[in-house]
Structures are given as C-alpha cells and as structure tokens.
Structure 1
Amino acid sequence: MAAEAKTRLFRRRLRSRIIASLAAFGVGLTSLFAIATFFLRGNIENQLVDSWLANEAANFVEFKRENPSPEAQYQFSRQILIWVRSPRTIANMPYEWQKLETGVYDFSEENEGERLNYKLAVHRANDIISFLRYDYTQETLSERNLLLSLLGAILVFSVLAVLLGIWSSSRVMQPVADLVTRLKSFAGGGQPEALAPYFADDEVGQLAAAFDDYSAKLTELVKRDREFNADVSHELRTPLAVIRGATELMQAQPDLNDKSALRLARIERAVAQCSDLIDALLTLSRSERGHGAADLRKIVEQLIDTHRLALRNKPVTLQLEDGPHVVIDAPESVVSVALNNLVGNAVKYTSEGAVRVRVLRDRVEIIDNGPGIDPEDARQLFERGFRGKSSLGSKGAGIGLAIVTRLCDLYGWEVSLAPNPEGGAIATLRLLR
C-alpha cells in the first residue's frame, strides 16, 4: 500500500511528470534514430552490394566470351571467388547452387567450426554460367557491433535525457516552488503580503496575481464574517437578556398562578436554548473548539425538563436511566445543542410511548419507540435539508441533525441513527473514544 501511495504521489507531482516526459522523449527519439540508422544502413548496403555483385557476375560472363579458356575457379581476393561453368559441367558445383536463377542470394553455413556468411551472385547465359561468391562474414560481425553500439548509445542518451529532465524541471519549477514557499509562509493573520511583485510577468506571475485577488476577496469576506458574528452575538444576546430579566421579575410575583408559572418556565428554558444555540452557531462559524466542563447527566436532566414542559397532552414519557456522572471538555452550550436536537427528534416522531435517555461512560443514547427509520435513510438523515420517509407530515427544515454533524466534526465526536430491533430508533452521540 505504501509503495502504491508513493507511485501515485510521483505521478501527481508536476516536476516528476516533466522529468518523465523529457526522459520518454529522449529515449524515444534516440531509439527511433538508432532503429532507422540500423535498418537504413543494412538496406542500403545490401542493395549496393547486391547490385555490384550482379553486375560483376554478368561482366565476367562477357569477359569469358571474349577470352575463351578452360573452365576454372578464379580468386580475386580473400573475399571473392568466381566459378565459370557450361550448362554441361554445372553438376560439379554445390547441389543448392545448380538450380539457382540469375540473381543474388544469401547463404549461411558451417565451415571448419565457424559460421560462414556469404552472398552468391549467379548469372545464367545460354552457353556460360558464372557463380560469384562474396564472403560477407566480416560485414555481419560489423553489423552486430553496430547494433551493440546503437544499444549503448540509447542507454547513454537515456541517462542524459533523465539528467536533462531533472535539471530542466528544477529550472522550470523553481518559480512555482518559490510561490508555494511564499504561500506557506502566510501566518494567517491580517492582510497577506502581495505575491505578484516577486515574480515575472509570465504564467507563474499571473497565477500569483490571481492568488492576490483571491486573497484580498477572502480577507474581506473574513472581515465581514467576523463583524457579522460580533453584531449577531451582541444584537441577539441583548433582547434575550431583556426577556430573561423580565421573566425572572414575573416569576417573583407572589400572586402568580400555576398556568402562568408554567408558561414563564417554558419562556425561561426557550431563552436558555436560544443562548446555547447562538453560542454553538458562533463556535461553528469561527471553527474554534471551545473548552469547559460539561456534566452530561446535568445537561440531559435540563433537556428532559424542557421537553416535558412542551409535551402538553401528548402521551409520551421522558425517562433518564441511571448512569454515571460524566464530565467532558466542551462548552455546556455546545453539548446541550447537540443533545437537544437528538432528544427533540425522538420526542417529535414518537406519537405515544416513551423516550429513554441513557448516559454511559463514552456516549449518550436516546431510545424511542416511534415509527423507526428506514435503513436507507439512516446515513442521509445528517445531510442538510434531507428528511426521511418517516418525517412526512411533520414540520422542520431538516437542518437540526446537520448542525449536530458539524459540531461532531469540530469536536471529534461521532453521531449515528439506527433502527431499534424492539421498534423505534436509537440515536447515539459518542463523545469519548
């Protein structure tokens, strides 16, 4: 697996692709030149030698007609032997030669333990037949030596092509490497330094200018986002504080009846939930993990009390099973928002029965006996805007579970929904690993 990963990384790197391209070009060009040289040299040499031998065989026939003499064997050099025969005495020649027509032929045979390569030129006339044998053994060895030399040249030029590719790629990629270095040097605070002035007006310079434009737009967006978050935090918290204060004053009235007290309690819990939701959303907007000491059991008890107030006459009971007290490093508001969405969904889709909440050492489970969930919908329910088949007829925009997913991604938690074998569904928020 590690070797495959390195291979994929090598293929992805631009410098590696430049080296591979130049090396392939050098090897391919050298190989084509060597092949062309080898075959052109062989073909041209064969054509010239064959033409010369055929002419010499024909000329010798004319020479013998002008200078009649007994049939004989003539040796002009170490490589050339000539035999002149009449059609009646051709039987004295080697059997494989006797039926050859006029032309040039290639032969290879063993001679005293050595391989002998030669060309045989035959010229037939009505009265005279000439055989001209040209020893081609040395030329064959030269051809082999040429082939080995060309293979060596391919190897040498391949190494040179790779070295040239490494050198040229470093020159070509140097501006890109400088651009990457400057991009990595950004500290992430304030307005980044402009890149374009450090590069020539070429493709890399245009890329640096595009980065500068994008950086300026991104910095402006970040600034506006921070200002918006600060405005939202201030503008929303102020009315919530007013509502909370007014609620506390009204709850302190001695003549408050039970119905009004219940309504004020619901308002108080709604204000607390809004404050928690604002904190959680601002945390997501800043992508900064907050710290704290969140008591899971305490938070679950508060959420159960809140949802009990909202149940009205719905025949659903909320139960908190016995379990350990677990404290995790996270703001109470963030944990409250995550659990509130899960408990709220369980209460919403349970028309009658019970919703049980179980606090364990590493997770919180919410178990209901509602209509359950489709296994095909289980994975998609945490996508923004997705609503499962069991949500038909219910109100909601399908963003509550998406917020839970984003909080889990930020804090390294895990959330899941699965059908309950006993009926209903089980939502699990794993907070510790």
Structure 2
Amino acid sequence: MRYRRRLRSRIIISFALFGLGLTALFAVATVYMRTRLEDQLVNTTLERELRHFVDFKRENLSPDAQFPMSLIQLQIVRAGRTATVPLAWQSFEAGVYDIEDIGREGKTRPYKLAVYKDADFWAYLRFDVSTQKLGERQLLTVLAASVLAFAVLSLLIGFWLSARVMSPVIELANRVRAMSRSGRPELLKAHFADDEVGQLAAALDDYSTRLTEMVQRDREFNADVSHELRTPLAVIASTTELLQGSPELTDKLRERLRRIERAVRQSSELIDALLLLSRRERQAPTDGETTDVARVVEQVVDAQRPHVANKPVEVRVEIEQPLETVAPSSVVAVALSNLIGNAFKYTQAGEVIVTVGHGRVTVEDTGPGIKPEDADKLFERGVRGTTVGKGGGLGLAIVRRLCELYGWHVSLAPRPQGGATATLEFVGTRPG
C-alpha cells in the first residue's frame, strides 16, 4: 500500500508551495522585466546621445577632443587615429558593450561602452552603470525577502485554513472512533452541517444502520440454528444410547449405532466451532481447564476410521509427549478431524501416521500428495488440490480460521517418501 500524507498536511504543503511558487514567479518576472527594460533604455540612450555628439562635433569642432564627466566619459577622434584611445577600446566595432574599468577611486567598476564609427570620426562613450547595478542588487534583496515573507505567510495561512477545513473531518473521525470503542451506534449526521462532511456522516449512518441490522440478523440466525440443531441432535444421541442398551441388537447394528453416535458428537463439535467462528469469540474450557490433545486425537482417529473401511491402510498413533492446550475440546476435535479425515479419505494404500508431541500434531499419509505451489492455496475457501476428487474445499478453510482465532499454526507440505504431511502447531500449550 502506497504511503499518503495526511489531508491536513497536503493542504498546508500545497498552499505553501502555491504561495512560494507564485511569489517566486512574480519576483523573477519583475527582475527580468526591470533588467531588460533598463538595459534597453540605457543602450538606446547611449547610442542616441553618441550620434548627437558626433553630429555636434562634425558641425562645430575640428580637432580631436575628450570630454570627461562624472558618469560619462566621451572621446571622439578622427577615423583611424586611435593613439589617444585606451587600448582595450580600440578592438570594439560600432555598438554597445558591457565592460569593467578602473574608476576614479581606483576600484573596478562596471560600465557601458558605446562605440560609433564612420568614415570621418570614431567616437567612444563610457557610461558608469554602478548605480544601476547597486539598485539591481537592492531590488533582488528586497524581492528575496518578499518571497520569504510571502512563503511564511502562505504557510501560516495554510495552517489556519487547514485547521478550519479539517476540523469537521477530525470531529467525524473522533466520533466514529468513540462509537467503535463503546460499541453503541450513534447517528452522526445530526452533529454536522449539510455539506460534504455532513453527506459523509449521512453515508456512514446509513452503512452503520445496515451493518447493525445485518449483525443482529446474524446473531439471531446463529442462536436459532444452534437451538434448532442441538435439539434433534440431543434426541438422536439419547435414542442411540437407549438402543445400544438393548440386548436384542446384533453386533452389526450395534456398530452402526456407534457410528451414529460418533456422527452426532462430530456434528455437535462442528456446531460449537462454527458458532465461535461466526462470533469471533475465543472460548477456553471452563474453570481454567485444558484439553488433552492426545485423548482428542484418539477419539478423532476412532471416529474417522470408517473412511479407511477395507482399504489396505495401516493407521498408527504415536504419542511422543503428552500435550495440553487451552481451548475447548470441540475446537481441537474439528481442526484435527479435517486433517486426519483428509488423510484417511485420500490414502488408498499404505499408512497414516499421527504423531503427538513437542507442541504439535503431525499427520503423515501415503496418499496422492500435494504440489508445493498448492500448499498455501488449499487453505483458501473453495480451493482444492489438483490431485484430489470433488468437494467444496471448506474443511481446511475452517481449520485455518480456527487457527487464526486461537493463534495456532497449520501447514501442509509434500512428504519426501510420497504423500503429504499436515502439521497443527499449538501456541500456548504445555506438556501434560
């Protein structure tokens, strides 16, 4: 996700950059126009005055002459006679040039040199532009100070405007945050004006109302499903228990009743787990008790054995170390039932090894296996591996959600000897 600045910061920065850019552009344009116009005016004036002086000289004076002034030094000679002309000036053709020369105080100063040449006279006019350069530097200093002052002013105005503009948004965010913490929905539109923020508050009110209704319907549905399913399951369980006590039952019927009893227990455990997932409630055993994982594994293996049926599959349960976890036995049973049940269903021959110990339960099988690139995808809802048959792809997704709820970790990986390995690692466990 790409990083974005806060809206208030963006308003302040945008306003400051806009003010800085606008004043800087104005300052540059001012300096450019002043320099261009001043330079054009000085050049035009020098050339005009030099021509007038040459005309005056042609009409009134014949010998060479030099007329020193405070800012202007004017010298006119006969064409080609440059003995009295400074050496640095002699190479210039007609026109106006920027030069530096030594002033009367002995310091280097900037000048404009206007040169006029015709068949009779060569004229040179040097104009002192140090005053104009000083004025230009002063103008630049003033403009730089103005740009800085306007930038600071723009920044202050940006802070003030952002505070005014963002205050309703901040208030809306605070009210939504307070409502989220308290868990009590509150209508937000009444606290804001009928503007963009008010429209956002109205949209949030509408969304909150629909979300509250949806949550309420979901809670009622969960309660109804829990009640309506538990009642017939309880009836089936009690009836099955009574039938098992009958002396007239054959061994085959008695085994079928035990399968019904196991299915009822699995259904009850699944209902408990799904209700916890729907409510996002992490429930622990009562009175601080823990669940014996090894005992649950044995029960799950016994309940899932019908999936092996008459297949040539050896099932081994190895308890390397007793293991307990702080979670209801129904949740542990649902998570393990999916892992062990998949191993039983997809293994056509060979063995299934369930190992308990060292904070985890490992289920290894010699079934068709899985591809390494499918290992993580199989826990997504509706995704199934390419090596298995049809199905909804929901079992492993339920296991992953249970693990997220209790902080456990589940993984699948190809088995080096062939088949697959499923590992359920418990966090917050302790040896038995």
TM-score, normalising length: structure 2: 0.93
Q: Given the alignment of the two structures, is residue 132 of structure 1 paired with residue 125 of structure 2, yes or no?
A: yes
Q: CA separation in 1, counterparts of 2:214 and 2:228?
A: 20
CA distance in 2 between counterparts of 1:62 and 1:395 reads 111
* Residue in 2 that maps onto 1:227: 220
Q: Which residue, out of 61, 79, 93, partners 2:85?
A: 93
CA distance in 1, matches of 2:319, 2:93: 111
| Residue 50 of structure 1, aligned match among 25, 33, 43 | 43
Unpaired segments of 5 or more residues in structure 1?
none
How far has the Cα of 1:333 moved from its partner? 1.0
Q: Distance in 1 between matches of 2:423 and 2:107?
A: 87
TM score, norm. by length of structure 1: 0.93
Please tell me whether residue 402 in structure 1 is matched to residue 393 in structure 2: no
- 1:326 maps to 2:323: yes
Q: Is 1:352–2:353 an aligned residue pair?
A: no
CA distance in 2, matches of 1:113, 1:360: 99
Given residue 23 of structure 1, which amino acid in structure 2 is its aligned partner?
Answer: A
- Matching residue of 1:303: 300
Within 5 Å, give how 1:354-393 maps onto structure 2.
354-391=351-388
Report the CA distance between 1:222 and its aligned residue.
0.6
Q: Which amino acid aligns with 2:416?
A: P
Does 1:420 find its partner at 2:415? yes
Mapped partners of 2:277, 2:268: distance in 1: 14
Q: Note the 1:29-428 alignment, pairs <5 A.
A: 29-76=22-69, 78-109=70-101, 114-187=107-180, 192-292=185-285, 293-391=290-388, 394-428=389-423
Deviations 1:67-96 (A, max 9, x none): 2253221123x2111111111423421234
What are the Cα deviations for residues 279-319 of structure 1, in whole angstroms up to 9, with x where unaligned?
A: 11111111111111221011101001112244221222221
Structure 1 SS opposite 2:99: strand
Report the Cα distance in structure 1 between the residues aligned to 2:392 and 2:80, rounded to whole angstroms. 112
- Cα distance in 1 for partners of 2:328, 2:314 equals 28
Conservation of the 8 A alpha-carbon contact between 2:67 and 2:75: yes
Residue 325 of structure 1: how far off its partner (Å) = 2.2
Q: Unpaired runs of 5+ in structure 2?
A: none
Partners of 1:17 and 1:334 in 2: CA distance: 49
CA–CA distance in structure 2, aligned partners of residues 249 and 334 of structure 1: 28
Contact 1:119 1:136 in 2 (8 A): yes
Is 2:305–2:344's contact at 8 Å kept on the other side of the alignment? no
Which moves more between the two structures, 141-150 or 198-207? 141-150
Shift of 1:358: 1.1
Q: 1:335 to 1:256 in 2, by over 3 A?
A: same
- Is 1:191–1:219's contact at 8 Å kept on the other side of the alignment? no
Deviation, structure 1 residue 209 = 0.4
Contact conserved, 2:307 with 2:345, CA < 8 A, in 1? no
Deviation of residue 272 (structure 1)? 0.4
Question: Percent of counterpart pairs with the same letter?
Answer: 55
Q: CA deviation at 1:353?
A: 1.5
The 8 Å contact of residues 343 and 366 in structure 1, kept in 2 or not, is answered as yes
Per-residue deviation at 1:187?
5.0
Q: Are the counterparts in 2 of residues 104 and 119 from structure 1 also a CA contact under 8 Å?
A: yes
* Alignment CA distance shift 1:257-1:109 (3 Å): farther
SS in 1 for 2:28: helix
Aligned-residue Cα RMSD (Å) equals 1.9
**1:353-408 alpha-carbon deviations (Å, 9 max, x no partner):** 211111113211111122221111111111111111211xx242111001111111
8 Å CA contact 1:266–1:310 kept in 2: the answer is no
Counterpart contact for 1:91–1:98, Cα < 8 Å: no
Q: Do the aligned partners of 1:415 and 1:430 also contact (CA within 8 Å) in 2?
A: yes
Q: CA deviation at 1:257?
A: 1.1
Q: Answer yes or no: is the 8 Å Cα contact 2:80–2:122 preserved in 1.
A: no
Q: Distance in 2 between matches of 1:310 and 1:425?
A: 17
Contact persistence 1:375–1:419 (CA under 8 A): yes
Cα separation, 2, equivalents of 1:368 and 1:58: 110
Q: What is the aligned length?
A: 423
Cα offset, 1:245, TM superposition: 1.1
**Conserved 8 A contact 2:308-2:345:** no
Q: Distance in 2 between matches of 1:189 and 1:85?
A: 99
- Contact 2:282–2:406 at 8 Å: present in 1 too? yes
Alpha-carbon distance change, 246 to 41 in structure 1, aligned in 2, over 3 angstroms = same
Q: How many Å separate the matches in 1 of 2:357 and 2:17?
A: 62
Aligned-partner SS, 1:92: coil
CA displacement at 1:134 relative to structure 2: 0.3
How far apart, CA to CA, are the structure 2 residues paired with 1:91 and 1:165? 67
Change (3 A) 1:159 1:190: closer
Give the C-alpha shift of residue 191 in structure 1.
5.6
Contact 1:368 1:426 in 2 (8 A): yes
Inter-CA distance 110–305: structure 2 relative to 1 (3 Å threshold): farther
Preserved contact between residue 196 and residue 205 of structure 1 (Cα < 8 Å): yes
Q: Distance in 2 between matches of 1:379 and 1:115?
A: 81
Aligned mates of 2:300, 2:32 — CA distance in 1: 88
Q: Is the 8 A contact 1:121 1:132 kept in 2?
A: yes
